[in-house]
Structure 1
Amino acid sequence: MARKQSDYLAALLADDESVPEVSTEEVPTQSAPSPAPDLRAQRARGTTLLGRESALARVASGEVRQVTQLLLDPAKVRVWSGNARSYEHLTEASCQELLDSIVAEGGQKVPAVVRRIEGDPNYDYEVIAGTRRHWSISWLRAHSYPEMMFVAQVAQLDDEAAFRLADLENRARKDVSDLERARNYAAALKSHYGNHQSRMAERLKLSKGWLSKMLKVASLPDAVVAAFASPAEVQLKPAYPLAQAMDDRLAAASILKAAKGLASEQATRVRTGAPALPAAEVLTRLLAAPHAETPPAGPIYNWLSPHGRSGLSVVSTNRQGATVRVHAGSGAHIDELVEAFRQALISLEEQGKGVRP
């Protein structure tokens, strides 16, 4: 972990004043001859007492902070819903390196961060940071290592602090997809930051522009995401233009139609054992969908005056609004044109192309 992230993590956990404190003392080795047994025992007791007093003094002075670590049954620990990582998508293959490390070292060496929960008879704690470790220990206990215990550090954190801590751990994880993180940010924006992007960016130490793009990608509907072989393939940089294109109602309709066809094609490939369509091809086809369809002939709406001539027509609509043309020489009065404009707006609403304020 980078120094900056390490300091940020330490600051987060240091906010918890209720976490107990632990200290360790190193007793220097002695090169002098060993004293007699009775004298050695007395000196050992004295050294132990002095060491404990010294440790307690350091704790009391604030020089040493302590973290309590527990050995827990993972079955009594749930995963916090505010974490970006999708627990359901963790597999033996994706956690293989961690599984091998835990087995080789005889147990979990890096503790997870949990907080105590009340009122749930099935669980005593929930994981704030360490979802993969929790999954791995659970898997090992079910596969020939029943003695494995989940090592956790207990902290008292509110939801916003818990979110920042979980986000910090997940930022450098390659197995947390951009879409997972983006949707996690979108949920947190509403839950913890009152929909204020600037406040959220400041608290998370993120670029406002980068956060804005992540939130935009989070708005991609599930029907569009289903066109990809996996949600993990929806990456920030290439998916951002796609999310922007969805702002145009006409383009969005075409993209959704293309996405449905792509999702069906991906499913067929899975059934037949063929390789999935790569993300780059899916993106290209989705972005090209609005331009592939033949635009409708003539105006979207056309009103004829009592003289049988075009008086008012809607030429086009997009996310900026509608283009309305009032035709010269129709012979219509102003009141008739005003009523025609009202009827045009009603027609657009019925077609799903309404211009809302």
Structure 2
Amino acid sequence: MSKRHDAVFDDVLSGLGDSPAKEGRGGARFLARSTRVGERLSGEIEEKTLRWVDPAQCRMWARHNRAYELLTEDNCRDLIDGIKSQGRQEFPAVVRATGDDAVPYEVVCGARRHFAVSWLRAHNFPQMRYLVEVRDLTDEEAFRLADIENRDREDISDYERARDYAEALRLYYGGRQRDMAQRLEVSDAWLSRYLQLAKLPDEIVAAFGSIRDVREAHARSLKPHLGRGPEREAILAEARAIAAEGKGLDPAAVLRRLRAVVAKPTDRRGKETVFKGPRHQRGMKMRRMNRTIQLEFLDTAGRADLEAAFEMFLEAQFGRKA
């Protein structure tokens, strides 16, 4: 048995009386505590440090993947009502120590919980406190933890996530996309789509009502055009116009307008042929429309002109008469 075990057990045994009843209870406590100590030392149990704190003692981690300024009473209403109903926060946020006595914690995961508790404290529930789990994490570990917790949450937009990935690629993975994909356990193609979204020009992002409206599919749709100089400039000009209008168009309408300025017109008239003799100025136009033929001529055309044009048309269709 190790010296550490001996010290623990000596502490447990000290002060035990000699009576059988006390000896029995002490023995039970001794066995239970020795089991817990053994489990902790063997790594079978990992203890967590949970604390109830004033949310004012916490700040958002600078690399938190949620835009805290976009949190409102409305989009946090479900969480606010849940905490109020339970009388407390059920699941702890994950924080790191800052070393700053004034604000000792920074939030890695739990921005909505922080907002909800802060809102309740300011609205007739001053007793509410913020439950946090204090962990020792590197920046890269904190990034991956936040990503795992929030990857499937719909209240974090594609653009927020894309922006977070692009910054992480630069800071933690030296620009090596494959290394980052392996660490996040996602495919290169999946990660590439979000990194492409992060490159969307600011003018286009501003054309949408909110960054939460900007989707990965929008970037994918515009990508071919943004790589061509004239088309890129046309799209950016239209995006600036949309933003200046300030009409708050829905995302689909914004995308339609951006794509419309680079859409190629479709010629629905079909192939056109003109039949006319040397002295005829306009003649007769023929257009093929699927399996039909459309003939067009001025209503002022003379008989001789039309006969000549029709003769040319019939020869083109059936060949010369024998």
TM-score norm. by structure 1 comes to 0.66
Contact 2:95 2:105 in 1 (8 A): yes
C-alpha separation between the residues in 2 aligned to 1:207 and 1:232? 24
Q: Secondary structure at the match of 1:290?
A: coil
Q: Which residue of 1 aligns with 2:288?
A: none
Q: State yes or no: 1:283 paired with 2:264.
A: no
C-alpha separation between the residues in 2 aligned to 1:57 and 1:203? 33
C-alpha separation between the residues in 2 aligned to 1:244 and 1:67? 50
Q: State yes or no: 1:59 paired with 2:40.
A: yes
Q: Secondary structure at the match of 1:66?
A: coil
Q: Which residue of 2 aligns with 1:117?
A: 98
Q: Secondary structure at the match of 2:262?
A: helix
1:312-333 Cα offsets, whole Å, 9 max, x none, are xxxxxxxxxxxxxxxxxxxxxx
C-alpha separation between the residues in 2 aligned to 1:93 and 1:39? 63
Contact 1:83 1:167 in 2 (8 A): no
Q: Are residues 40 and 103 of structure 1, via their aligned partners in 2, closer, same or farther at CA, if it must alter by over 3 Å?
A: farther
Q: Give the letter for the 1:288 counterpart.
A: A
**Residue pairs, 1:8-47, within 5 angstroms:** 43-47=24-28
TM-score norm. by structure 2 comes to 0.72
C-alpha separation between the residues in 2 aligned to 1:42 and 1:149? 42
1:216-242 Cα offsets, whole Å, 9 max, x none, are 111112211111121111111233222
After TM superposition, which residue ranges in structure 1, 4 or more long, deviate above 2 angstroms? 38-50, 290-293
C-alpha separation between the residues in 2 aligned to 1:100 and 1:42? 50
How many pairs align? 247
Q: State yes or no: 1:218 paired with 2:198.
A: yes
Q: State yes or no: 1:152 paired with 2:132.
A: yes
Contact 2:157 2:211 in 1 (8 A): yes
Q: Give the letter for the 1:84 counterpart.
A: N
Residue 141 (structure 1) aligned to one of 121, 142, 145: 121
**Residue pairs, 1:205-244, within 5 angstroms:** 205-244=185-224
Q: State yes or no: 1:256 paired with 2:236.
A: yes
Q: State yes or no: 1:106 paired with 2:87.
A: yes
C-alpha separation between the residues in 2 aligned to 1:157 and 1:125? 12
Contact 2:97 2:104 in 1 (8 A): yes
Q: Any gaps of 5 or more consecutive residues in structure 2? A: 1-18, 266-322
1:31-56 Cα offsets, whole Å, 9 max, x none, are xxxxxxx9766644443333222211
Q: Give the letter for the 2:105 counterpart.
A: Y
- Percent identity, please: 43
Q: State yes or no: 1:87 paired with 2:59.
A: no
C-alpha separation between the residues in 2 aligned to 1:139 and 1:42? 52
Query: Based on CA coordinates, which of the two structures has the bigger radius of gyration?
Result: 2
Residue 183 (structure 2) aligned to one of 203, 207, 226: 203
Q: Larger deviation: 95-104 or 282-291?
A: 282-291
Q: Give the letter for the 1:279 counterpart.
A: P
Q: Give the letter for the 1:212 counterpart.
A: S
Q: Give the letter for the 1:104 counterpart.
A: S
Contact 2:225 2:262 in 1 (8 A): no
